[in-house]
Amino acid sequence: MGRHWIGVNDIFSYRKELYSGDTMNEIQLALAENGGDLQAAVDRVAATVHRVEADFDHLTAQLRAGPAALDSDLGVYLDALEAMIAGNLEWSYLTPRYNGRGHTWNGLTDATVLLTPHHTLYLPHEHASARTPRDAPAHAGPQRGQGASCEAYP
């Protein structure tokens, strides 16, 4: 579960860290390894998040279907872990810490994400062609099967 949180954090915090010069982020490590392809770096981290989430879902289902399901404390614990995973992801979409002061998330998870020095913008894919060089298409949030084009502009 910690691996999930780290991946989500590194995807969502990338804009803030990029423009503040902080290079301690898994996206930066992936960029260094792949020659600077931002989309490929984000996709790699998102794939890890998806894999960890799928593994967690599978293990949780096994526990809930097996003899361990008789342990009510285990059920409470698994419910809490699921809520923490969902809460961390939702907080990452909502927080001005990663998305910029005054940010209000529009609810889009399947979006083109524009990274600018002061804000993260979540746009429907059909609006992606209307962007300007000052608005950077960027990372996909870690939702399964969803993505966005990635670039960053100063």
Number of neighbours of residue 100 by Cβ within 10 angstroms: 18
**What is the Cα–Cα distance from 69 to 4, expressed in whole angstroms?**
24
127 falls in which pLDDT band (50, 70, 90)? low
Where exactly are the structural domains of the chain? 2-138
**115 bridge partner residues:** 120, 136
CATH of 2-138, one of 3.50.50.60, 3.40.50.720, 1.10.600.10, 3.30.2350.10: 1.10.600.10
What are φ and ψ of residue 24, in 5° steps?
A: -90, 80
User: Per this entry, what is the length of the chain?
Assistant: 154
Predicted structure pTM score: 0.78
Structure confidence at residue 115 (pLDDT) = 87
Q: How many C-alpha atoms does 39 have within 13 Å on its Cβ side?
A: 11
**What is the Cα–Cα distance from 126 to 28, expressed in whole angstroms?**
28
Q: What digits encode the pLDDT tens for the residues 40-74? A: 999 999 999 999 999 999 999 999 999 998 999 99
**What is the Cα–Cα distance from 115 to 29, expressed in whole angstroms?**
19
Largest CA distance in the chain: 57
